[in-house]
Structures are given as C-alpha cells and as structure tokens.
Amino acid sequence: MRKILLYIVYGENKGYYDGAIFSFLTFMNWFLIEDPVEIVILTEKPSEFEKYPVKIFPISKLQIKEWSLDGKYHFRIKNRGMAYIMDQLKLTEKDKILFLDTDTYFHKSPLPLFDLIREDQALFYLNEGLIYNRQRFKVYAEYLRNRPIQIDNDVYELSSKSAMWGSLMVGIMPNMRNSLDWADKLMQVFIDIVPAHTIEPFSLSESLLRKYKMIEGKKYVSLYSTSRKKEHVLPIISEFLTKYQELSIDEKISLAQKVVLKRTAFKVIKQRIMHLFR
C-alpha cells in the first residue's frame, strides 16, 4: 500500500511555494522508516522543489487554462489536479492519497490521517455545517432548492443532509476516482447557477457522499488560512527557508518543528489596528 501526500502549487505568489515546502517539512518529521510516505508535487514551477526529496509533476500553461476554464474558476484546478495525479501514479486499489493545501503545518503526528482514509470513507478537513442550517450557506438553498440537475445517468438534488465540507485537506482512494469526474461535471453546472466561490469543495463532497462516508481530520492539522494569519506567517516561513537553505534535509525538518507561527495577542491587536487605517 502506497501512502501519497499531494500538494498542487501554481501561480506567481511565492508564498504558496514556500508554504508547501514548510508544510511537507513539518509533515516529514513524523515519517516512519518502516511505513514510508511519498510526497508528490503538481506544480507550475518545478524548480522551487528540486532540492527536496519529492516527486514532481509539472503543470503546463495549457493545463492551467483548461482546468480553470480559461480563468473562469481557478479553484477547479484542485479537482482536475487530483484526478490527473491519480491517473499518472498508476495506483493500486489499496493506495491512499492525502491532498493538502499549502497553508498547513504539523506539530503532532498527522499519520493517523491515512488510517481515516478507507475504501468506504473519504477524508475532508472539516464539516462546516448543514446548508439549510447556516446563514452563510443560504445561497445554495436559494439557487438549488427544488432544482434537479442531470449528471450522466444520475440526478442531483440538494437535500436536508447536504453540508459544506472544507477541502483544505482531502483523503481519497483509487475506487473514488470516478467521483472526481462526477463532481467536476456538477461543479461546472454550479458555476453558472450558484454565485459562490465554495462550489469546488461542495461539489466534491456531494459527489463522494453519494457512495461513501465522510470523516473530518481537523484535529491533526494546524493552519494559517486567513489573510491576517498569512500576513504574519509567510514572512516567517520565507526567512526560515532562506536562512537554512544550505542545511541538510534532516536539519531543516528538525528546525521546522521549532518555528513559532502562532500570533501573540499583541500581534493580533496590532494587525487589527493597522487594518483599520488602510
């Protein structure tokens, strides 16, 4: 059984590339020699990762254009990128893929996440709540209620059990590969009728839940997903990678565990005040 850790990194923002490196350095601290994990990077800039023990797959400009529907919805790249890597890796039925966004890091073992990925169970970061119970998801109810959508030989309908699952982390197995394509077709319908930017995770979770259970893995992951946290964290990561760029991979892994990314209360207050005057 192969265990694969996947990152998809594209665009011109250096912070995404630095974030991916820091993420997998902190993940690698927990690797077990007798139970290896393969790190796979699907990226627009392979040179950013050439010094690291990872398997690199390049993304071409044409793929970026096609996967984002010519720039119409760039979040679609996540779905198409996962599908592409699953096809390229020639997986066997017991293999597991754990996709992570680049704004993640690990100060406790994330290896139990792979145990949560099963043939009958997919893994997402977090269940954010039922569509009909949360005010911030009301746009889905407004545009999808009583609106059946034909996808292949199936009909999709929003249900009372439909929920928003955060896809900062996605764990799947080869038998779920077709669900990515079904989700992509659903997503392309949503793009035209639902004015929301979260249709990528919603379409994938709704597709997977047709056949599989879903579980969240939030407790194993640390993250800095908000704009103010990124404003604080990314300069720290950039400084770390620059300062220790000549060290061995083992030394970088060890030192990465000592980097403090969490903001102090003073820093939080200072950022709030600074944003008031922008």
HSE-CB for 144 with a 13 A CA cutoff: 29
Class of domain 3-223: alpha beta
Per-residue confidence (pLDDT) for residue 34, from 0 to 100: 87
What is the band of 266 on the pLDDT scale with cuts at 50, 70, 90? very low
Cα angle for residues 209, 90, 249 (degrees, 5° grid): 95
- For residue 18, give both structure tokens: 């630095």
Domain ranges of the chain: 3-223, 227-276
| pLDDT at residue 189 tops 60 | yes
| pLDDT at residue 265 tops 90 | no
What is the band of 278 on the pLDDT scale with cuts at 50, 70, 90? low
First to last CA, the chain: 52
Per-residue confidence (pLDDT) for residue 227, from 0 to 100: 84
- For residue 149, give both structure tokens: 């959508």
Which residues is 272 bridged to in the sheet?
none
The overall average pLDDT reported for the chain is 93
Length of the chain measured in residues: 278
Nearby residues of 95 by Cβ (< 8 Å), 6 or more positions away: 1, 2, 3, 4, 89, 173, 174
Q: What is the pLDDT of residues 151-183, one digit of tens each?
A: 998 999 999 999 999 999 999 999 999 999 999
Q: What is the pLDDT of residues 82-129, one digit of tens each?
A: 999 999 998 999 999 999 999 999 999 999 999 999 999 999 999 999
